[in-house]
Structures are given as C-alpha cells and as structure tokens.
C-alpha cells in the first residue's frame, strides 16, 4: 500500500501543474512552490515576448483531458497558452496547492535522518536572512530547461551601455517600444533570435541584424503546403532516426531500408532549401537533417525569410567580438551600428539549488543528465523530475512522466526497475548520446524528440497501462499522437490512492 507523503513540487509551469495534479490525485499532500507571481513558466506574461506563438500545434501542445477553446488558432499565441494553463489548473483545482512568489533557494537531505529533503524557501521581496526551511518526503523538480538565462558579456559592454546603448536577454524583450527607431543586433540563431528579429523589424526598428554562429535546419509551419504536424510526429518517421536501444530486428530493418531513409531525408532537405531560399541566403546547413532533429530544431518565424529578401533583416554569420560606441564589432571584422543588443543566446541547464554532491551524481562532466526515463536518478532518492523529457509536444510528455513519477515514488509501477537496472539503462543511454546521436546531448540530454512514441511506450509499459496503442495499426504508424487517447491509456493502468 502506498503511503501518503508530503510532496514539494518546484515550478509552476506546465510541468509543475502536471506534477501537482498527478501527486494530489493519488492522495498526497502537495505543496507547489513557484518563484514568479503567476503560473505559466516560459509562457508567463512578464517573460514572454510580443507575438510569440507556440511551435507545436494546439492539439499536440495540450493535456490529455483539456483542449484549447475553438477560437484559439492552430498555433496559439503566448496569452492563449497562458490562459490555457490557468484554465487547466482551475479545472483540476490545483492552483490552491501552490505558493506563488516563493523561490527554492537550496535543498539538503533531512537533518532528522528521515527520507526526503529539507528545502530553503525565500518569499519574493524577502532577503536570505528571512529564509525558512521545510521538510518534504519527496521532491518533484519541475523547473524547466529555460529558467536560468545564458547571458554572454563582451568587451566594451560597460562603455556601450554608459553611452546609451542597451543589452538584454531575449526573455527580457517584452516591450517592442524600446527598439522603435533603434538599430538592433540580435545574437543567436535559434527560435528566440528569429522571433525577436522579426518582431523588431515589424515594430519600427531602424535596422535589424541577426548574428548567428551556424546554419541550422528549420521547419516552416507548412512544408510543401502540408502542416508539419502531419509529417514529423509519426511512428513511421520516428523509426527512421537512430533511436536509443534499438531491438536487433529494428536495427536490421533500418539497415535494410537505409537507402530509402536516405532519399527521404534528402528529399526533405531539397524541399526546405527550395521553399525557404536557403541557397541565396547562404544558409544551407552542412549537417544532414536526420542528425540534427531534436528539441533545438525550430519552426521558422513567419516573415523571417521575407524580411531577409527585402533587406529589413540582415543576417551575418559570426558572433559579437566587442562593443564600440553605438556599434557591435563582429568576429568577421564587420562593425554593425547598434543601439540595442538582444542576447537570444538561450539558457543554462542545471539545478542551482541542488547541493554540489547531488549535482555531481545528476550531471556528467559533459553536462548530460543521468536520469532514468528522463525522470529519476537512482542515487538521489526521494527526488524526481517532471518536464525534463522535453519534446515537440512537451505538455503531453510532462503529463505522462508526472503519472510515471508518482507511481515510481509510491512503488506502484507495474515494472519497477532495480537500482542496478536503472543505472545500466542510464549508462546505455549516455553511450547512445555520445556515440550514436550527439544531438541528443543538447539541452543537457533532456530531450526525447523525435522519439516521442518510443518514450511514451516505455512510460506506459512501466506504469502498467493495458492499453498503449490505438486499435488501427495504420493510424498508429502514420498519425501523430492523439493526446486524448493517451488519457485513455493512462486510465487503463491500475489505479490506487496513497493513505
Ligand atoms: C518562448 C518559448 C516557446 C516554446 N514553445 C514550445 C512549443 O511550441 N512546443 C513545445 O513542445 N515546447 C515549447 N517550448 C518549450 C517549453 O519550455 C515547454 O513547452 C514548457 O513550457 C516547459 O514547461 P515547464 O513547466 O517544464 O518549464 P517552465 O515553463 O520553464 O516552468 C518552470 C517554472 O519553474 C519556476 N522555477 C524555476 N526555478 C525555481 C526555483 N528555484 N524556485 C521556484 N520556482 C522555480 C520558474 O519560475 C517557472 O515558472 C517553448 C519554450 C520557450 C522558451
Ligand atoms: N515561439 C516559440 O515557440 C519559441 C520561441 C523561443 C524559444 N522556443 C524554444 O525554447 C528553447 C530555447 O530557444 P532559444 O532560442 O531561446 O535558445 P537556444 O535554442 O538554446 O539557442 C541559443 C542560440 O544562441 C546561440 N549562442 C549561445 N551562446 C552564444 C554565444 N556565447 N555567442 C553567440 N551565440 C551564442 C546558440 O548558438 P550555437 O547553436 O552556435 O551554440 C543558439 O543559436 C528551444 O527549445 C526553442 O524551440 C520556442
């Protein structure tokens, strides 16, 4: 029988809400802790830049039992996503479990020798001296992968800002009025960079230059006229990538179909190159697309290539070397006039409040996390992670892993691996990332894409779901995940309540 626990859920984004619901549903005493004043995480209005839309379509970027309102577009805008998170929290009455404006500053094993952890909490506006400590039997970390800003600094920045220039991280670009009439330089070549460059160009910036290090494949919302959700999220497509721990039959099949798979990806590259005009912009990536598909592959911001065409955005390959008065000097020697420099340079991975010895167990020297099923480290008891299985449908992956984690914590998984089995699996996964699929090391190795079905199959099997697939094998092979169906699969697992 599962014992009722006092559970901390750290973070109030999609993953924290999913974790709070999953643990509360099983009868646990849940305490959500969110440092911001509102739910939403990356979608919280104070962190969300104007015109930001989801990359995932709304039927894929949702929980199993809750749809977006009909009027919300296929790719919801940030306020739509934020409202959706609130409506889900209301529907399941989980908002009351959270303390907002409460930051977890540190955590340590409990001093009383009991299982669990002691968290050091600081309320917004309080100083470290006013911190309080609380004991929990289990801690679920749901702090996301995009919470600690990566803000590079460059020589000359002090003088540049003293002379009226401004530098900021992409997540602080929340009001386009600051760039009106200004010369903007955006550093970075990923999704935030493109979104902000387009936003600045269409909101009255005097000039916009995007400075990026390497050419990468990006997907338009419609590839050759087809919504990309119909192409990318299939089991049949997923099987063409080098997935983790392939069965001997799977490996043999892939080998047999290698020429066909090769043609498929070359075809996709040709379509993307033509459709986006990559050649004329000198933006054809050198790496084969199949080696680069992971959570970092971004959707093209509508208007980006059009703005390159008409010259409203200029793209330069390189980096910022230093600042001079009213200018950024680039690594290629160019001097670009600059009043505002936006660092769309991403995020640092890691969990700063974890004690050093726990960090050491959690993260290998190359920055890749050691997590079984992207959720637990067998050497860190009474601790689990939700949302560390980022994907192209992150809300569904967070909900599934939250349901896995509560059963793991309660010893109620149908397939509960031993410590040795978990460590052996982690070692094999690390080896796969290092030797077979280096792109899987991105973002701390915390991305399951494009292997959604494989990951979801593993979780459901462990959970003991008796239904794991849709009835029609062709639908299962060629159609994207159906979030509502995953709700049914979860419901087919043995149910219990902690007492
Ligand atoms: C602009 C943007 C758009 C995106 N679009 C998509 C998309 O279309 N599709 C997709 O699949 N993914 C997308 N992603 C990825 C996105 O991160 C996930 O989809 C999802 O929102 C992550 O939710 P989360 O709850 O795991 O993390 P977050 O949303 O990052 O939430 C983590 C929360 O933890 C809190 N927190 C952190 N540290 C502490 C602490 N010490 N104490 C207390 N609280 C703390 C933070 O304040 C935050 O509220 C996008 C990411 C960004 C940045
Ligand atoms: N609308 C949306 O849905 C949306 C919007 C924004 C973000 N997102 C998602 O959020 C996640 C984070 O995206 P992101 O764009 O914020 O970050 P990111 O994907 O981590 O990209 C960071 C970019 O900054 C560059 N960079 C990092 N450090 C640098 C340095 N010191 N000098 C020069 N360049 C540097 C990187 O270049 P290298 O590759 O060369 O290292 C990369 O191009 C992604 O999953 C993305 O899909 C979604």
Average pLDDT, the chain: 95
Phi and psi torsions of 483, nearest 5°: -60, -40
* Residue 54 beta carbon below 6 angstroms from any ligand 2 atom: yes
Q: What percent of the chain has pLDDT over 70?
A: 100
CA angle (141 as vertex; 135, 145 as ends), nearest 5: 150
Host domain of residue 362: 6-147+349-491
The predicted-structure confidence for 155-170, as pLDDT tens digits, reads as follows 999 999 999 999 999 9
| Average pLDDT of the segment spanning 85-94 | 97
Ligand found nearest the CA of 194: 2
Per-residue 3-state assignment (H helix, E strand, C coil) for the chain: CCCCCEEEEECCCHHHHHHHHHHHHCCCEEEEECCCCCCCHHHCHHHCCCCCECCCCCCCCCCCCCCCCCCCCCCCEHHHHHHHHHHHHHHCCCHHHEECCEEEEEEEECCCCCCCEEEEEEECCCCHHHCEEEEECEEEECCCCCCEECCCCCCCHHHHHHCCCEEEEHHHCCCHHHHCCCEEEEECCCHHHHHHHHHHHCCCCCEEEEEECCCCCEECCEECCEECHHHHCCHHHHCCCCCCCCCHHHHHHHHHCHHHHHHHHHHHHHHHHHHHCCCCCCCCCCCCHHHCCCCCCEECCCCHHHHHHHCCEEEEECCEEEEECCEEEECCCCEEECCEEEECCCEECCCCCCCHHHHHHHECCCCCECCECCCECCCCCCEEECCCCECCCHHHHHHHHHHHHHHHHHCCCCCCCCHHHHHHHHHHHHHHHHHHCHHHHHHHHCECCCCHHHHHHHHHHHHCCCCCCCCCHHHHHHCCCCHHHHHHHHHCCCCCCCC
The predicted-structure confidence for 302-336, as pLDDT tens digits, reads as follows 999 999 999 999 999 999 999 999 999 999 999 99
| Average pLDDT of the segment spanning 1-27 | 97
Is 33 a member of any domain?
A: yes
Residue pointed to by tokens 């749809």: 67
* Residue 107 beta carbon below 6 angstroms from any ligand 1 atom: no
Nearest to 289 by CA among 341, 355, 331, 232: 232
Q: How confident is the model at residue 128 (pLDDT cuts 50, 70, 90)?
A: confident
Ligand found nearest the CA of 299: 2
The predicted-structure confidence for 378-402, as pLDDT tens digits, reads as follows 999 999 999 999 999 999 999 999 9
The predicted-structure confidence for 188-208, as pLDDT tens digits, reads as follows 999 999 999 999 999 999 999
Predicted local distance difference test score (pLDDT) of residue 332: 92
The predicted-structure confidence for 345-373, as pLDDT tens digits, reads as follows 999 988 999 999 999 999 999 999 999 99
Report CA(172)–ligand 2 centroid distance (Å).
Answer: 14
**8 A C-beta contact, residue 370 and residue 464:** no
Predicted local distance difference test score (pLDDT) of residue 207: 97
Predicted local distance difference test score (pLDDT) of residue 194: 97
Which structure tokens are listed for 246? 């392939």
Report CA(144)–ligand 1 centroid distance (Å).
Answer: 5
- Residue 440: CB atoms within 10 Å: 25
Is 125 a member of any domain?
A: yes
Query: What angle separates helix 14-25 from helix 78-91, to the nearest 10 degrees?
Result: 10
* Residue 389 beta carbon below 6 angstroms from any ligand 1 atom: no
* Residue 55 beta carbon below 6 angstroms from any ligand 2 atom: yes
Predicted local distance difference test score (pLDDT) of residue 253: 87
Which structure tokens are listed for 144? 């996301």
Is 184 a member of any domain?
A: no
* Residue 143 beta carbon below 6 angstroms from any ligand 1 atom: yes
Query: Is it the case that residue 39 has pLDDT exceeding 90?
Result: yes
Report CA(13)–ligand 1 centroid distance (Å).
Answer: 6
Predicted local distance difference test score (pLDDT) of residue 47: 83
Ligand found nearest the CA of 98: 1
Is 329 a member of any domain?
A: no
Query: Which atom of ligand 2 is closest in space to residue 152's alpha carbon?
Result: 31
* Residue 13 beta carbon below 6 angstroms from any ligand 2 atom: no
Predicted local distance difference test score (pLDDT) of residue 51: 85
**Residue to probe by mutation, ligand 2, list 172, 185, 321, 346, most atoms within 8 Å of CB:** 346
Predicted local distance difference test score (pLDDT) of residue 111: 87
| Average pLDDT of the segment spanning 62-77 | 97
* Residue 145 beta carbon below 6 angstroms from any ligand 2 atom: no
Report CA(34)–ligand 1 centroid distance (Å).
Answer: 12
* CATH (domain of 73): 3.50.50.60
Count Cβ atoms within 10 A of the Cβ of residue 150 and give its class: 0-12 exposed, 13-18 middle, 19 or more buried. middle
Please state, in angstroms and rounded to a whole number, the distance separating the CA atoms of residues 375 and 386. Answer: 6
Predicted local distance difference test score (pLDDT) of residue 249: 87
Predicted local distance difference test score (pLDDT) of residue 127: 87
Residue pointed to by tokens 């390189």: 318
Is 157 a member of any domain?
A: no
Predicted local distance difference test score (pLDDT) of residue 350: 84
**8 A C-beta contact, residue 319 and residue 330:** yes
Is 174 a member of any domain?
A: no
Query: Is it the case that residue 484 has pLDDT exceeding 90?
Result: yes
Query: Which atom of ligand 1 is closest in space to residue 192's alpha carbon?
Result: 1
Is 253 a member of any domain?
A: no
Question: Looking at the 3D structure of the chain, how many domains does it have?
Answer: 1
With a CB cutoff of 8 Å and minimum separation 6, the contacts of 89 are 17, 39, 95
Report CA(238)–ligand 2 centroid distance (Å).
Answer: 24
Query: Is it the case that residue 129 has pLDDT exceeding 90?
Result: no
* Residue 33 beta carbon below 6 angstroms from any ligand 1 atom: yes
* Residue 353 beta carbon below 6 angstroms from any ligand 1 atom: yes
Is 295 a member of any domain?
A: no
């Amino acid at each position: 029988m599962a014992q009722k626990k006092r559970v901390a859920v750290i973070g109030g984004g999609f993953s924290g809400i999913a974790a709070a619901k999953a643990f509360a549903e099983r009868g646990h005493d849940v305490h959500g802790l969110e440092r911001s004043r509102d739910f939403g995480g990356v979608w919280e209005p104070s962190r969300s830049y104007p015109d930001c839309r989801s990359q995932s379509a709304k039927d894929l970027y949702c929980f199993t039992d809750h749809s977006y309102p009909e009027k919300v577009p296929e790719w919801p805008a940030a306020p739509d996503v934020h409202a959706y998170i609130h409506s889900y929290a209301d529907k399941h009455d989980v908002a009351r479990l959270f303390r907002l404006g409460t930051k977890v500053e540190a955590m340590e094993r409990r001093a009383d020798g009991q299982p669990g952890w002691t968290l050091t909490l600081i309320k917004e506006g309080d100083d470290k001296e006013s911190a309080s400590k609380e004991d929990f039997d289990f801690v679920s970390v749901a702090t996301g992968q995009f919470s600690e800003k990566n803000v590079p600094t460059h020589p000359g920045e002090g003088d540049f800002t003293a002379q009226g220039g401004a530098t900021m991280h992409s997540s602080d670009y929340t009001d386009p009025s600051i760039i009106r009439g200004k010369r903007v330089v955006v550093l970075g070549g990923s999704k935030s960079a493109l979104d902000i460059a387009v936003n600045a160009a269409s909101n009255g910036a005097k000039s916009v230059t995007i400075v990026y290090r390497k050419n990468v494949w990006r997907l338009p919302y419609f590839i050759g006229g087809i919504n990309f959700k119909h192409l990318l999220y299939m089991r049949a497509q997923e099987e063409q990538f080098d997935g983790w721990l392939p069965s001997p039959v799977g490996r043999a099949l892939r080998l047999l179909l290698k020429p066909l798979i090769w043609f498929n990806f070359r075809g996709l590259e040709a379509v993307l190159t033509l459709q986006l005009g990559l050649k004329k912009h000198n933006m054809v990536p050198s790496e084969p697309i199949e080696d680069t598909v992971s959570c970092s592959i971004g959707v093209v911001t509508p208007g980006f290539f059009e703005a390159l065409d008409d010259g409203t955005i200029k793209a330069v390959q390189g980096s910022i070397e230093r600042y001079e008065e009213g200018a950024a000097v680039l690594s290629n020697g160019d001097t670009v006039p600059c009043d505002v420099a936006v660092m769309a340079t991403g995020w640092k991975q890691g969990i700063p409040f974890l004690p050093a010895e726990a960090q050491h167990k959690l993260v290998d020297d190359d920055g890749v996390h050691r997590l079984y099923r992207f959720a637990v480290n067998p050497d860190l008891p009474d601790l689990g992670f939700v949302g560390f299985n980022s994907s192209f449908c992150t809300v569904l992956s967070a909900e599934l892993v939250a349901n896995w984690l509560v059963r793991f914590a309660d010893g109620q998984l149908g397939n509960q691996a031993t410590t040795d089995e978990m460590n052996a699996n982690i070692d094999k996964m690390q080896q796969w990332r290092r030797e077979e699929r280096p792109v899987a090391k991105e973002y701390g190795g915390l991305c399951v894409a494009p292997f959604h079905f494989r990951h979801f199959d593993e979780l459901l099997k462990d959970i003991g779901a008796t239904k794991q697939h849709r009835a029609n094998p062709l639908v299962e092979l060629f159609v994207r995940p159906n979030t509502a169906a995953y709700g049914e699969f979860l419901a087919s697992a043995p149910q219990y309540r902690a007492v």
